[in-house]
Amino acid sequence: MSVEELSDGIFEIDLDGRKTLATKNIMPGISVYGERLFREEGVEYRLWDPRRSKLGAMVLKKFEIPLKYDSTVLYLGAASGTTVSHVSDILRDGLVYAVEFSPRTMRDLIQLCDQRPNIIPILADANKPLSYAHIVEKADVIFQDVAQPNQAEIASVNSKYFLEKHGHLILSIKSRSIDTLASPKKIFKDEVHKLEGGFGVEFEVLQRKELDSFHEDHLGLVARMFVDGE
Amino acid sequence: MVSEFTVWFGRLTLDEAGELIDCHPFEKNPDILAERLLELQEGGQKVPATAPDLRRLAFDCGFVDMDEDYDVLLRDVCIRAAKNRISSTDTDDVRIVHAVEALDDIDKNVNELSERLLEWYGLYFPELELTGEPLSRFVLAFGSRANVPDDHPLFEKASKSMGSELSFADEELLRSFASNLCSLYDTRRHIESYIVTGMGSLAPNLADVAGALLGARLISIAGSLQKLASFPSSTVQVIGANRALFKHLRSNTPPPKHGIIFNNIIIKNAPWWQRGKLARAFAAKISLASRTDFYSGKKDPSIKEKLELKLTAIRNANPSPPKKETKPGGKASGARGKGRKKKGGKR
Q: What is the pLDDT of residue A228?
A: 64
Q: Is the pLDDT of residue B339 over 60?
A: no
Between CA A37 and CA A44, with CA A40 as vertex, the angle to 5 degrees is: 40
Looking at CATH, the fold of the domain delimited by B3-88 is given as Nucleotidyltransferase; domain 5 (3.30.420)
Q: Is the pLDDT of residue B331 over 50?
A: no
Q: What is the pLDDT of residue B278?
A: 94
Q: Is the pLDDT of residue B332 over 60?
A: no
Asked, colleague to colleague, whether B3-88 and B92-197 share their fold, the answer is no
Q: A138 and B53: CB-CB below 8 Å?
A: yes
Q: A136 and B51: CB-CB below 8 Å?
A: yes
d(CA A44, CA A23): 9
C-alpha neighbours within 13 Å on the C-beta side of residue B300? 18
Nearest beta carbon to residue B51 from set A95, A103, A137:
A137
Sign of CA dihedral A198, A201, A202, A207: negative
Secondary structure class of A167 (helix, strand, coil): strand
Q: Which residues in chain A are contacts of B4 at CB distance < 8 A?
A: none
Nearest beta carbon to residue A138 from set B51, B86, B89:
B51
Nearest beta carbon to residue A114 from set B5, B8, B79:
B79
Nearest-Å Rg of the Cα atoms of chain B is: 32
- A107 CB-near residues (< 8 Å, 6+ apart): B86
Measure CA of the first residue to CA of the last residue in chain A; give whole Å: 47
d(CA A163, CA B53): 11
The per-residue pLDDT for range A32-75, each reduced to its tens digit, is 999 999 898 889 999 999 999 999 999 999 999 999 999 999 99
Secondary structure class of A101 (helix, strand, coil): coil
DSSP letter assigned to residue A125:
-
Q: How high is the ipTM of this complex?
A: 0.92
In terms of Cβ atoms closer than 10 Å to its own Cβ (0-12, 13-18, 19+), residue B43 is exposed
d(CA B78, CA A119): 10
Q: B78 and A160: CB-CB below 8 Å?
A: no
CB count in 10 Å sphere of residue B121: 24
Q: At what angle do helices B67-87 and B54-61 cross, to 10 degrees?
A: 110
Q: B82 and A106: CB-CB below 8 Å?
A: yes
Q: Is the pLDDT of residue B216 over 50?
A: yes
Q: Pairing mode, if any, of strands B20-25 and A218-225?
A: unpaired
d(CA A26, CA B84): 27
DSSP bridge pairs for B3 = B14
The CATH number of domain B203-320 is 3.40.309.10: no
DSSP bridge pairs for A74 = A97, A142
Each residue of A180-212: b (16+ CB within 10 Å) or e?
A: eeeebeebbebbbebbbeebebbbeeeebebbe
Average pLDDT over residues B149-168: 88
Q: What is the pLDDT of residue A40?
A: 86
- B334 CB-near residues (< 8 Å, 6+ apart): none
What whole-number percentage of chain B has pLDDT above 70?
A: 93
d(CA B133, CA B142): 14
Distances in Å between the alpha carbon of A173 and those of A143, A177, B278?
11, 9, 48
Average pLDDT over residues B43-69: 87
Q: Which residues in chain A are contacts of B8 at CB distance < 8 A?
A: 134-135
Biggest CA–CA distance in chain A, Å, is: 52
Contact call for residues A103 and A42 (beta carbons, < 8 A): no
Q: What is the pLDDT of residue B109?
A: 94
Mean pLDDT value across chain A: 91
- Return the HEC string of chain B: CCEEEEECCEEEEECCCCCEEEEEECCCCHHHHHHHHHHHHHHCCCCCCCCCCHHHHHHHHCCCCCHHHHHHHHHHHHHHHHHHHHHCCCCHHHHHHHHHHHHHHHHHHHHHHHHHHHHHHHCCCCCCCCCHHHHHHHHHHHCCHHHCCCCCCCHHHHHCCCCCCCCHHHHHHHHHHHHHHHHHHHHHHHHHHHHHHHHHHHCHHHHHHHCHHHHHHHHHHHCCHHHHHHCCHHHHHHCCCHHHHHHHHHCCCCCCCCCHHHHCHHHHCCCHHHHHHHHHHHHHHHHHHHHHHHHCCCCCCHHHHHHHHHHHHHHHHCCCCCCCCCCCCCCCCCCCCCCCCCCCCCC
Average pLDDT over residues A171-185: 91
Residue B19: band (very low, low, confident or very high) from pLDDT cuts 50, 70, 90: confident
Q: What is the pLDDT of residue A141?
A: 96
Q: Is the pLDDT of residue A229 over 70?
A: no
Nearest residue to B175 via CA among B122, B136, B127, B118: B136
Return the residue in B23, B42, B78, B91 with the most chain A beta carbons within 10 A, the one to mutate for interface testing. Answer: B78
Q: Which residues in chain B are contacts of A137 at CB distance < 8 A?
A: 51, 53-55
Which domains occur in chain A, in start order?
2-49 (3.30.200.20), 54-225 (3.40.50.150)
Mean pLDDT value across chain B: 88
The per-residue pLDDT for range B250-289, each reduced to its tens digit, is 888 999 999 999 989 899 999 999 999 999 999 999 999 9
Q: What is the pLDDT of residue B330?
A: 47
Q: Which residues in chain B are contacts of A160 at CB distance < 8 A?
A: 50
Q: A103 and B54: CB-CB below 8 Å?
A: no
d(CA A137, CA A126): 15
Q: What is the pLDDT of residue B333?
A: 43
d(CA B171, CA B164): 12
Looking at CATH, the fold of the domain delimited by B92-197 is given as Helix Hairpins (1.10.287)
Q: Which residues in chain B are contacts of A120 at CB distance < 8 A?
A: 74-75, 78
Nearest residue to B54 via CA among A216, A73, A139: A139
Q: What is the pLDDT of residue B45?
A: 81
Average pLDDT over residues B41-49: 82
How distant is the alpha carbon of residue A53 from its chain centre?
9
d(CA B283, CA B305): 15
CB count in 10 Å sphere of residue A19: 11
Q: Which residues in chain A are contacts of B41 at CB distance < 8 A?
A: 124, 131-132, 134
Question: Is the entire prediction scored with pTM above 0.80?
Answer: no
Distances in Å between the alpha carbon of B142 and those of B123, B138, B166?
16, 6, 12
Nearest residue to B203 via CA among B181, B219, B222: B219
Q: B86 and A130: CB-CB below 8 Å?
A: no
| In A98-163, alpha helices (H) | 103-115, 151-162
Distances in Å between the alpha carbon of B310 and those of B200, B209, B285, B314?
24, 13, 10, 6
Which H or E run contains A10? strand A10-15
Q: B71 and A117: CB-CB below 8 Å?
A: yes
The per-residue pLDDT for range B173-211, each reduced to its tens digit, is 999 999 999 999 999 999 999 999 999 999 999 999 999
Q: B85 and A103: CB-CB below 8 Å?
A: yes
Contact call for residues A97 and A122 (beta carbons, < 8 A): yes
Biggest CA–CA distance in chain B, Å, is: 100
Q: List binding-site positions of A.
A: 82-83, 100-101, 125-126, 145-148
Secondary structure class of A228 (helix, strand, coil): coil
d(CA B140, CA B152): 15
* Domain boundaries of chain B, sorted by first residue: 3-88, 92-197, 203-320
